[in-house]
Amino acid sequence: MTYLLKGARVLGGEPKDILLKAGYIAEIGAPGEVDGTGAGHIDASGLIALPGLVDLHTHLREPGREDAETVESGTAAAALGGFTAVHAMANTSPVADTAGVVEQVWRLGQEAGHCDVQPVGAVTSGLAGRQLAELGAMADSAARVRVFSDDGVCVSDAVLMRRALEYVKAFDGVVAQHAQEPRLTEGAQMNEGAVSGRLGLTGWPAVAEEAIIARDCLLAAHVGSRLHICHVSTAGSVEIIRWAKSKGWDVTAEVTPHHLLLTDAFAEDSPTGPYNPIYKVNPPLRTRADVVALREALADGTIDCVATDHAPHPVEDKETEWPAAAMGMIGLETALSVVQEAMVETGLLDWAGVADRMSARPARIGRLDGHGGPLKPGAPANLTLLDPATRWAVDPGGFASKSRNTPYQGMTLPGRVVATFLRGRPTVLEGKLT
Amino acid sequence: MMRHLLSTADLSRDDALLILDTAEQLAQVSGRSIKKLPTLRGRTVVNLFFEDSTRTRISFEAAAKRLSADVINFSAKGSSVSKGESLKDTALTLQAMGADAVVIRHGASGAPHRLANWVDGSVVNAGDGTHEHPTQALLDAFTMRRRLGDLDGRRVTIVGDVLHSRVARSNVHLLHTLGAEVTLVAPPTLLPVAMGDWPCEVSYDFDAVLSKSDVVMMLRVQHERMNASYFPSAREYSRRYGLDPERLGRMPEEAIVMHPGPMNRGMEIAAEVADCARSTIVEQVTNGVTVRMAVLYLLLSGSEPAIGGNQ
């Protein structure tokens, strides 16, 4: 199938015509100067063309919690959000800690066809933190796993973390750490600060994240390996990562859209009253000062990328008292809009910056071939078209995700994905799944 | 008057004074041989207790019954809740039964706020996790007023596990609203980390504030804190933060001693102090029924007079 995207602003630049042919970008030229004979014409005037987004951190819940999300529904949500590849986290049931499970998830992704699914392998068997999972077998499997993470649980044992970092060097892997010192966060419900003190909810102190990040940066430097830090949430973490990078160490980091926009104040004061666990997430929403530091760090590249930590939960796991509720929020279908709101409309990032932080860098960290751009002739036709001028009221009723736990319900956000192409084939057209 | 009583922070000074003044009126009834009023006849009050708290439950039960309400006691143990029923489903059940008020005690902070989303009736917070216990603060304020008069400018010192205390949080808000000056005293481990915006003073030194206190309120120290390194030992806690006869002697002469109960005698409070004439601990229990009557009355019958003309 051949498509001519007419008048698209590549990375927010001047309008161009883009010809997609046989899965690749065949030609990019001035409007009217690209021969689109026989191609499907798509009016892309006013739309921004970005390389297909890549998520380093998605929970697709299959196998095990198909009531919350499936590979089919989660990847549909991803495509609608402008993604052409997602990394599926390992904390499924059974855990993705063997070649068999990662290959199953990878195949489910291929069958769904909405976007590429790159499984993440568990670092330790059963996420139990006692012994390494068969990392090499997962790396050598059809799923070609390169990112390993016990996400949801911290690899808190320093020796085990050291061994994991060393071991993955053999196949250019990376350990993505969920930084949470377990003893400092027993029973933790929300950011430890003024709000938790008033609400009487057990605090999750920033130091519990920062202490692990500092330790792991030092470990990665010591063994000369690659470390990636999941969902950085505090200003202190940013300083430590900035310091580690200044040493030349191979440390990368991600931030979620919700940590770029929301604060712990929502636990106390929201349109739906206090204690609504729709705002309960791990790591927790932090303070305004943390949000400011995270935005600046993403803008200056200290934080490499945005990752959604899309975490679907069924209604009954959120319609509860706060401490009983599951942690996490969905984010695939709102990520780009939130980044536009938090980073673009504030002048912190331009669209080329967004492409770098949401596509190029996550693809590079995940060693994902064929994704991450750049948008130029000869590159695989993985791209998304965004209408930056639209504003929309978030209504999870219309989401492709099976879950509804979005913290943005009722908010008006800028920017909507109009079309997404995966290797030249549209997965989304006119804002709808094809 | 508001629809629910979830937090003392929601009470204006007028609201708080209305409750206390209404309680004062109702206290007269408690002195009669027939203690019952017909005010809430035909109304249903559900006591929904997810935590064992016999003292608080029977206090609310007595309050509702003295106002002639029908009382349903719903305890989580041995009920559908222990079989995994959610708070929301329990709420919908109570709603379907036509509960006019639900008095909830729950181990989770904020559970009463959540419940209020799911029932039409009034919700009264009877203690939620480590958040608030508004009727305890109201009965404490009522007790102070009876002993000391107007609370404006009165100095109230609250000593103990502030971090986990719903009594402390409710008292800080309410006493501040009523014009009292509150000082919280605790070892630093038992205070929240960021208290800059709490309307009170904070001290680590009990002895430094003793002589400047019109009220000393001792909080219960839970046994489980002792095994979690909040302080080295019960003995050391007692030495630094316990109220013993020697410390009592250094309090101003009219100053009173309070405790929300149940007490750990010999731990945060010495037996001689608990039983002395300046202790209001037994009065607090009596006043608890009266104040809870006032709360239920004001939530459920609004502006009608508490005590009808037909007395």
Q: What is the pLDDT of residue A357?
A: 98
Nearest CA in chain B to A196: B192
Residue type, A423: R
pLDDT, one tens digit per residue, over B271-299 is 999 999 999 999 999 999 999 999 999 99
pLDDT, one tens digit per residue, over B174-230 is 999 999 999 999 999 999 999 999 999 999 999 999 999 999 999 999 887 877 899
Nearest to A199 among B86, B110, B193 (CB): B110
Q: What is the pLDDT of residue B78?
A: 62
Contacts of A191 (CB under 8 A, 6+ apart): A203, A204, A206, A264, A284, A285, A286, A287
The CATH superfamily of B134-281 is: Aspartate/ornithine carbamoyltransferase (3.40.50.1370)
Domain boundaries, chain B: 8-131+285-301, 134-281
3-class secondary structure per residue, A289-305: HHHHHHHHHHHHCCCCE
CB B168 within 8 A of CB B4: no
Output the DSSP codes for A185-246. Answer: GTT--EESSHHHHHHT--EE-HHHHHHHHHHHHHHHHHHT--EEE-S---HHHHHHHHHHHH
Cβ of B129 within 8 Å of Cβ of A323? The answer is: yes
Cβ of A199 within 8 Å of Cβ of B131? The answer is: yes
* B110 near A CB under 8 A: yes
Q: How many CB atoms are closer than 10 A to CB B262?
A: 10
Residues of B in contact with A205 (CB under 8 A): 193
Rounded Cα–Cα distance for residues A216 and B147 (Å): 60
- Is B18 exposed, middle or buried, given 0-12, 13-18 or 19+ CB atoms closer than 10 A? middle
pLDDT, one tens digit per residue, over A209-222 is 999 999 999 999 99
Residues of B in contact with A274 (CB under 8 A): 110, 113
Q: What is the pLDDT of residue B289?
A: 95
SS3 B60: helix
Number of A/B CB contacts below 8 angstroms equals 75
Q: What is the pLDDT of residue A424?
A: 97
Residue type, B146: R
Question: Given the DSSP bridges, would you call strands A147-148 and A174-177 parallel, antiparallel or unpaired?
Answer: parallel
Tokens of A400: 């492709």
Nearest CA in chain A to B194: A194
Q: How far is A387 from chain B (nearest CA, A)?
A: 37
DSSP class of A132: B
* B81 near A CB under 8 A: no
Residues of B in contact with A199 (CB under 8 A): 109-110, 131
Nearest to A274 among B107, B113, B130 (CB): B113
Q: What is the pLDDT of residue B311?
A: 35
Q: What is the pLDDT of residue A7?
A: 98
Q: Which of B73, B28, B69 is nearest to B50 (CA)?
A: B73
Cβ of B109 within 8 Å of Cβ of A201? The answer is: yes
User: Taking the model in full, what pTM does it have?
Assistant: 0.95
Complex-level ipTM beyond the 0.90 threshold? yes
CATH of domain B8-131+285-301: 3.40.50.1370
- Work out the pLDDT band at B308, boundaries 50, 70, 90: very low
Cβ of A322 within 8 Å of Cβ of B88? The answer is: no
Q: What is the pLDDT of residue A280?
A: 98
Which residues of chain A are under the pLDDT cut of 70? none
Rounded Cα–Cα distance for residues B247 and B260 (Å): 19
Residues of chain A with CATH 2.30.40.10: 2-48+380-433
Cβ of B86 within 8 Å of Cβ of A320? The answer is: yes
Q: What is the pLDDT of residue A49?
A: 98
Which residues of B are catalytically annotated?
55-56, 83, 105, 133
Q: How far is A24 from chain B (nearest CA, A)?
A: 52
CB B170 within 8 A of CB B148: no
Cβ of A193 within 8 Å of Cβ of B129? The answer is: no
The CATH superfamily of A52-365 is: Metal-dependent hydrolases (3.20.20.140)
* B130 near A CB under 8 A: yes
Cβ of A319 within 8 Å of Cβ of B88? The answer is: yes
CB A40 within 8 A of CB A3: yes
Cβ of A200 within 8 Å of Cβ of B129? The answer is: yes
Q: What is the mean pLDDT of chain A?
A: 98
Cβ of B87 within 8 Å of Cβ of A273? The answer is: no
List of E strands, B37-189: 44-49, 70-75, 101-106, 122-128, 155-159, 181-185
Rounded to the nearest 5 percent, the helix, strand and coil shares of chain B are 45, 15, 40
Rounded Cα–Cα distance for residues B75 and B57 (Å): 10
CATH of domain A2-48+380-433: 2.30.40.10
Average pLDDT over residues B63-90: 85
Q: What is the mean pLDDT of chain B?
A: 92
Q: How far is B180 from chain A (nearest CA, A)?
A: 19
Residues of A in contact with B108 (CB under 8 A): 321-324
Q: Which of B186, B193, B189 is nearest to B218 (CA)?
A: B186
Q: What is the pLDDT of residue B307?
A: 52
CB A303 within 8 A of CB A238: yes
Residues of A in contact with B86 (CB under 8 A): 316, 319-320
Nearest to A199 among B106, B109, B195 (CB): B109
Cβ of A275 within 8 Å of Cβ of B114? The answer is: yes
Q: How far is B164 from chain A (nearest CA, A)?
A: 7
Q: How far is A272 from chain B (nearest CA, A)?
A: 9
Q: How far is B7 from chain A (nearest CA, A)?
A: 10
Q: What is the pLDDT of residue B304?
A: 56
